[in-house]
Structure formats: C-alpha cells, structure tokens
Amino acid sequence: MRDAPLTRQQVGKAGEDVAATLLESLGYVLLQRNWRSRYGELDIIAADGDELVIVEVKTRTGLMTGNPAEAVTPIKYARMRQLAGQWLLEQERRWPIIRFDVVAVHLSGQHREPEIRHYRGIF
C-alpha cells in the first residue's frame, strides 16, 4: 500500500527542517524560523559569524518544474529584502553584513536522502 502524498505544507516543512539541519552543521546559529509579517514570511534567519543570513528554502518532490532555486526570482528577492528590513527594525542588534542565501531541497522517493544545494549570497 502506498503512503498518501505529502501536502504542500508538509513538503515545505520537511525542506525547512533539512535546511535548518544543514545550516547548523555548517556552524550557523538559527535565530528564527518562519518569521511572519502581514507582507510575507522569512523561512530562516540565521547568523554566520558576524553576518546576518536570510535564507529562503525551496523544496520540491519532483524536478519537472526545474531546480527549486529557480523559483527565487528578482521579485521574490525584493520581497525578502523588504521583510528583512522589517525584521531588523524589531531587533536591538545591528548587523554589519546582511546576506541572502537559498537552500534548494529535492525530496525524491521514499527513504532516500534529500538532495540539497546551498547557494550563498544570491543576487
């Protein structure tokens, strides 16, 4: 018997969990996940040393629509910048460097390791 397919929300959460684990293994300190404002959401906000890193996670179960990272368009990047600015207004700490990364996760088949690509400093 086949398992029911994952919902879009389940796929997204699974990808974000994989991305968070990857980033922590690289030494990043996760500051916040799924920060929301009325304008949108930031998937992961992390520190990489003295750099603030805003991470967009894109997860797919198939590659028919291309590499998941290709979904981060200039419009999406502009929204990430706007949301990062809103988040920063709520913080006491000031960051000398702010970087935007993308983690692309491909969840393929049951019981297989996800394929992960980390793109640092997009745009």
Helix (H) or strand (E) holding 80: helix 74-89
Helix (H) or strand (E) holding 17: helix 8-25
Residue 60's beta-bridge partner residues? 106
Residues 57, 13: Cα–Cα separation, whole Å = 10
pLDDT recorded at residue 1: 47
pLDDT recorded at residue 56: 96
For residue range 93-121, list pLDDT tens digits in order. 999 999 999 999 988 766 568 889 999 99
- Domain 8-119 of CATH type 3.40.1390.10: no
28 neighbors 47 (Cβ within 8 angstroms): yes
Residues 59, 117: Cα–Cα separation, whole Å = 11
Burial class (CB in 10 A: 0-12, 13-18, 19+), 52: buried
For residue range 37-65, list pLDDT tens digits in order. 999 999 999 999 999 999 999 998 876 66
Domain boundaries, the chain: 8-119
Mean pLDDT, to the nearest integer, of 73-77? 91
Residues 76, 100: Cα–Cα separation, whole Å = 11
pLDDT recorded at residue 110: 65
